[in-house]
Amino acid sequence: MAELKIICEYPDSLKQFIEEALSRRIASLKDGIRRTEERIKEFESKYQMSTEEFLRRYENDEIQ
């Protein structure tokens, strides 16, 4: 396992900075997942087909 050691004059400030950056990144990823789920639901509704059904039919060359 890799280890990163950072030596800083103000470790509490650095810790807070890193935690906030990670929190923002996590929030961004969650938002991306939410938007993707919305797009999938729209697709399923529009084509009256679940994602599982679409994948099965696509893999069996039933959809072009």
Question: For the chain, how long is the longest CA-to-CA vector?
Answer: 63
Arithmetic mean of pLDDT, 5-29: 95
Could you tell me what percent of the chain has a pLDDT over 70?
Answer: 100
pLDDT in tens, 37-60: 999 999 999 999 999 999 999 999
Report how far residue 37's alpha carbon sits from residue 49's, in angstroms, rounded to the nearest whole number. 15
Amino acid at 30: K
pTM tops 0.75: no
3-state helix/strand/coil string of the chain? CCCCCCCCCCHHHHHHHHHHHHHHHHHHHHHHHHHHHHHHHHHHHHHCCCHHHHHHHHHCCCCC
